[in-house]
């Protein structure tokens, strides 16, 4: 399993997707399940994580990146 964050639960899917944004900047989206609260935490680059209990926002973002990004550089882990 890909280790992305220190609070990451080893029992749930976690992932990191690196992509080129439409403005040409390389960005990273991360998503893990917090081992303390059980909530999904998702964030871009160095932004603070957003709590997403059911993971719907994270799935929507990953789907949008795969569909709209000019280039997906890498996908690590599993969303």
Instruction: Tell whether 43 is covered by a domain.
Output: yes
Instruction: Tell whether 46 is covered by a domain.
Output: yes
Instruction: Tell whether 36 is covered by a domain.
Output: yes
The helix (H) or strand (E) run that includes residue 48 is none
3-state DSSP call for residue 49? Answer: coil
Torsion of CA 74, 21, 65, 41, to 10 degrees: 80
Contacts 24+ apart (CB under 8 A), 53-61: 55/31, 58/31, 61/29
pLDDT for the residue numbered 7: 87
Instruction: Tell whether 1 is covered by a domain.
Output: no
Instruction: Tell whether 34 is covered by a domain.
Output: yes
The number of folded domains in the chain is 1
Instruction: Tell whether 59 is covered by a domain.
Output: yes
Residues 6+ apart with CB under 8 A from 11: 33, 35
Q: pLDDT of the chain along its 79 residues, tens only?
A: 568 888 899 999 999 999 999 999 999 999 999 999 999 999 999 999 999 888 999 999 999 999 999 999 999 998 7
Where in the sequence is the domain holding 28, given as residue range(s)? Answer: 15-77
CB 29 within 8 A of CB 66: no
């Amino acid at each position: 399993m890909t280790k992305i964050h220190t609070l990451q639960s080893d029992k749930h899917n976690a992932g990191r997707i690196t992509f080129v944004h439409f403005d040409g900047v390389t960005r990273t989206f991360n998503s893990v399940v917090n081992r303390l609260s059980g909530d999904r935490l998702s964030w871009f680059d160095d932004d603070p994580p957003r709590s997403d209990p059911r993971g719907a926002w994270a799935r929507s973002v990953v789907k949008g990146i795969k569909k709209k990004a000019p280039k997906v550089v890498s996908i690590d882990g599993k969303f």
